[in-house]
Amino acid sequence: MRPETVVSDTGPVLHLCEANGLDLLLLPASVRVPSIVDRELSRLVGDWPSNRPKQLQVVELEAGSAEQAAQWTAAGLLHRAESEALALAVQLKAHWYLTDDTAARELAKFLGVETHGSLGVVLWAAAHGRLDRQESVARLEALFVSSLWVSPSVREEARAALKKIHSPS
């Protein structure tokens, strides 16, 4: 299924940029981020404002969503950008919330928000025929050398998932 509304925090956008895979992020749908995520990306990704993909839209939080995000941050549950991105996902009733942060993933799951990370974006693209076997492996391996920390067991699970996706039925 192709999700219509996707919201991301900083991590997946940053990691996919580092892995030369930002195009994959935009395959499922246009992606929305709160302004704090856009500001973080401006600090972390060279020439971000002029290279921001048109399909990546900066969306402001409504007052109630901003208040909820501030509460999560004040309680120490999430960092501000993750709080605001998750609050935006709830506000927009997003089909997907993208994060590489475990705490954000757990809170999203508690809230009933479908969550994926950078690896999930690559696996989705492979499963939907957007990447062949060689491209899939290259994109996955590029993520493994980005600033994204991935445990050895998760690396092996992701590699196994790609083998299964690309194996003849």
Phi, psi values for residue 27, rounded to 5°: -70, -45
For domain 6-118, the question of CATH label 3.40.50.1010 is answered with: yes
Phi, psi values for residue 152, rounded to 5°: -55, -40
Instruction: For 52-61, write each residue's pLDDT tens digit.
Output: 888 899 999 9
What does the alpha-carbon distance between residue 109 and residue 89 come to, in Å, rounded to a whole number? 12
Q: Where in the chain is the domain with CATH 3.40.50.1010?
A: 6-118
Instruction: For 64-75, write each residue's pLDDT tens digit.
Output: 999 999 999 999
For residue 142, the model assigns a pLDDT of: 96
Going by pLDDT thresholds of 50, 70 and 90, the confidence category of residue 1 is low
What 8-state DSSP symbol labels residue 96?
A: E
